[in-house]
Amino acid sequence: MVYYKLVLNDKRVREDSTYPVEIRITYLRKNTTITTGIRVRKEQWDSQTQQVRKTPNFQKLNQSISEIYLKVQKIVHELDDNGTFSFVALREYLAGKAKPAKAPRIEMTFNQYSADLVKSMLSINQVGNALVYQTASNRLIGFAEGRMLRFAEIDYTFLENFQRHLISKGVKQNSVSNYLRTIRAIYNRAIKAKIIDRSFYPFTDVPIKSERTAKRAILATDLARIYKLDLKENTREWHARNYFLLSFSLIGVSFTDLAYLKPINIVKGRIFYKRRKTRKEYSIKLTAIAQRIINLYKRKNEKYLLPILPVSVIEDSLIANQKIHQWIKTTNKWMKELAKDCEISETLTTYVARHTWATTAKRLGYSNELIAEAMGHEYGNKITNIYLDSFEQSVIDELNEKVINAIIINLPEKN
């Protein structure tokens, strides 16, 4: 079995303090490296995502790295299929000096390629993307009744039938769109890897439509009733309520980002973190409610602020992802019970906290632009946003304070 992984070679530094990004190939317990031709500084390399961090040219650099990585991946598979893999053969093939015999090679199918992509993502702890790719490819392969599916078979008619099949099974339109976007991403990667010719590309005439999702927000009065509930400490419902309110107080931070928060993220009354999904950096002033909840979990020598992930877990690993999703299920279960206790008709989930923050801000009269920036979204289009000045941090702090105060003023009177 041949293994490969993107690494920053910190042993080969230049005078400008840059290091080469390389592909480490492991075969029969021996290693070699293939250079990508890209060099970056240590602080520009994200060892968790195996990508260049946000810099002026980070998208172009990551694209170049991805292209050489997929090229190496294709060659490794071709040599491995022929039973002729060696480090020498790999380098000769990359240099164009030799090619493996093609006769024994079987065309790589969608099944094999998508499985390899998932395996590659898992190897560098890109668990979220790996699971998305796996789910979408499983759906497509299931529609093909499990047979080995050639890329050339995935044409306009096949995709149209696939969409109709999903809808007939009760799959929501937005889920159908997500599956198609992911399959399109896999197909585009296969084109870059020269597994299928671009002339076969089927998505030009396949519209991918999404429906506007129903709003999942509750009123400030409902949130106040949840906040006021008298719950026994350290019970599941007590934890669920705390996580929900903390997410709301931190401008709708996602449950995953909540789970990874550490004491070192708190500096001078502010919480600094980078969102796992978008890599965007946030700075949020801690409100009284947020600080009160965090204080409930203060423990000595603990790695995380909240008792969601065990200290020993490897961050962004499959196990970490599974534990977080189990906690999300548990939290959603108990939030539904708390909704019944408070006579709230809406279904409460961890995501409702984010929607409720945005809706409360809107009801207070704040602009869409300010709300979008506070939540890390772009408003309008990318071209327009280039010409817009960012709001000062103090303005966002004031907005969050006003949103949180909307709960406080709605707290029920004591008997």
**Is residue 412 scored above 70 in pLDDT?**
no
> Could you give the C-alpha distances from 151 to 183, 209, 231, in angstroms and in order?
11, 23, 55
Spatial separation of the C-alpha atoms in residues 38 and 20, rounded to whole Å: 6
Q: Which two tokens stand for residue 285?
A: 């002033």
List the chain domain ranges. 2-205, 220-408
Q: The tokens 């106040």 sit on which residue?
A: 224
> Could you give the C-alpha distances from 119 to 19, 48, 114, 122, 278, in angstroms and in order?
26, 16, 9, 5, 22
**Is residue 381 scored above 50 in pLDDT?**
no
Spatial separation of the C-alpha atoms in residues 228 and 335, rounded to whole Å: 14
pLDDT, mean over the chain: 86
Q: Which two tokens stand for residue 181?
A: 């976007």
pLDDT tens digits, residue range 159-194?
A: 999 999 999 999 998 899 999 999 999 999 999 888
Average pLDDT over residues 346-353: 91
Percent of the chain exceeding pLDDT 70 equals 90
pLDDT at 52: 87
DSSP symbol at 43: G
The DSSP H or E segment spanning 282 is: strand 281-285
pLDDT at 170: 92
Most confident of 214-218, 220-224, 238-242, 396-400: 238-242
Spatial separation of the C-alpha atoms in residues 152 and 190, rounded to whole Å: 11
Residue, of 232 and 29, whose pLDDT is higher: 232
pLDDT at 302: 83
Q: What b/e sequence results for 87-122 when a residue is b if at least 16 CB atoms lie within 10 Å of its CB, and e otherwise?
A: bebbeebeeeeeebeeeeeeebbbbbbbbbbbebbb
Q: Where does the pLDDT of residue 385 fall: very low under 50, low under 70, confident under 90, or very high at 90 and above?
A: very low
Residue, of 300 and 18, whose pLDDT is higher: 18
Average pLDDT over residues 264-272: 94
Average pLDDT over residues 50-56: 80
Instruction: Provide the sign of the torsion angle of the four alpha carbons 359, 360, 363, 369, taken in this order.
Output: negative
pLDDT at 238: 96
Nearest to 116 by CA among 80, 156, 158: 80
- The number of residues making up the chain comes to 415
Average pLDDT over residues 123-141: 89
Q: Which two tokens stand for residue 27?
A: 């075969």
Stretch among 199-208, 212-221, 365-374 having the lowest mean pLDDT: 212-221
> Could you give the C-alpha distances from 371 to 144, 274, 316, 374, in angstroms and in order?
44, 18, 29, 5
Q: Which residues contact 268 (CB under 8 A, 6 or more apart)?
A: none
Spatial separation of the C-alpha atoms in residues 51 and 174, rounded to whole Å: 29
pLDDT at 390: 54
Nearest to 103 by CA among 81, 73, 86: 81
pLDDT tens digits, residue range 274-333?
A: 998 888 889 999 999 999 999 999 876 689 999 999 988 888 888 999 999 999 999 999
pLDDT at 389: 47
**Is residue 387 scored above 60 in pLDDT?**
no
pLDDT at 85: 80
Percent of the chain exceeding pLDDT 90 equals 45
pLDDT tens digits, residue range 73-129?
A: 888 877 876 777 888 888 888 887 665 554 344 578 999 999 999 988 887 778 888
Q: Which amino acid is at 95?
A: A
- CATH H-level superfamily of 220-408: Intergrase catalytic core (1.10.443.10)
Average pLDDT over residues 367-379: 82
Pairing of strands 266-267, 270-274: antiparallel
Spatial separation of the C-alpha atoms in residues 106 and 94, rounded to whole Å: 20
Residues 362, 355 contacting (CB under 8 angstroms):
no
Q: Where does the pLDDT of residue 64 fall: very low under 50, low under 70, confident under 90, or very high at 90 and above?
A: confident
Find how far residue 280's CA is from the centre of its chain.
12
Residues 352, 360 contacting (CB under 8 angstroms):
no
pLDDT at 214: 61
pLDDT at 384: 40
